Amino acid sequence: MTNEIKIHERKLFENIDYSEKTLRDREFYKCKFVGCSFSKSDLIGNSFEDCTFDKCDFSMAKIKGAGFLNANFKECKILGVDFSECNKFMFSFSFYNCFLDYSTFFGTKLMKTKFEKCSLKETDFSEVNLSASIFFDCDLTGARFLNTNLEKVNFRTANNYSIDPEFNKLKKAKFSAFNLEGLLYKYQLDIDYND
């Protein structure tokens, strides 16, 4: 892959299999990736600015130093990816109908990030600044929140979260009255919604 173009602008990449391949130090600007597989690939040092990923697989991809600026992921599989190793200066996303299970965002800044209809099982949000983000109809089973800034985060339609208010910032966070047990789990309360 040494003779490939290093800078790509406004290109469409369709049904390309990059699985377990090395694709380093390339720049992608306003590109669209459809049905591509980056599973277990080495994407170290790449930058993706204003790019869209539709029905792509990033499971177990190595993204150390990679930058994602205004990256939009739709119906993607992104399992076990360590986003904490990304370029901190190019780090903004939106996720729609994606599987992000077993991924980690440890210590990152994800302010105003939109997660819509996503599975985030066992995802690590420890020490993340998620202020003003939205979790719309997301499954947060086993997701870890520790020393996380959740101020103004919208959890109204999120499900299966467990968040300890003593170890996270929750000022003005929004929750549904029907999902409050995720904040009270450690007290082992018996909440009855029939009264």
Q: Residue 182, SS3?
A: helix
Report yes or no on 116 lying in a domain: yes
- Higher pLDDT pick, 3 / 86: 86
Return the number of other C-beta atoms located less than 10 Å from residue 190's C-beta. Answer: 5
- Higher pLDDT pick, 55 / 178: 55
Report yes or no on 123 lying in a domain: yes
Say if residue 85 is in the same domain as residue 117.
no
| pLDDT band at residue 2 using 50, 70 and 90 as cut-offs | very low
Say if residue 91 is in the same domain as residue 135.
no
Say if residue 73 is in the same domain as residue 128.
no
Residues of the chain with pLDDT > 70, as a percent, come to 91
pLDDT tens for 109-148 read: 999 999 999 999 999 999 999 999 999 999 999 999 999 9
Range of the domain at 82: 8-99
Say if residue 113 is in the same domain as residue 147.
yes
Report yes or no on 31 lying in a domain: yes
Q: What's the angle, vertex CA 96, arms to CA 98 and CA 146, rounded to 5?
A: 70
Report yes or no on 155 lying in a domain: yes
Q: How many helices (H) and strands (E) does the chain have?
A: 1, 10
Question: Comparing C-alpha atoms, which of 114, 178, 104 is closest to residue 144?
Answer: 104
Say if residue 72 is in the same domain as residue 88.
yes
Cα within 13 Å of Cα(149), Cβ side: 13
Calpha distance 55→2 (Å, rounded): 27
- The domain tally of the chain equals 2
Say if residue 42 is in the same domain as residue 115.
no
189 has pLDDT over 70: no
User: Which whole-number Å values give the CA distances from 34 to 41, 144, 174, in the listed order?
Assistant: 16, 31, 34
Token duo for residue 24: 């380093």
Say if residue 62 is in the same domain as residue 135.
no
- Letter for the amino acid at 64? K
Token duo for residue 20: 């377990």
| pLDDT band at residue 35 using 50, 70 and 90 as cut-offs | very high
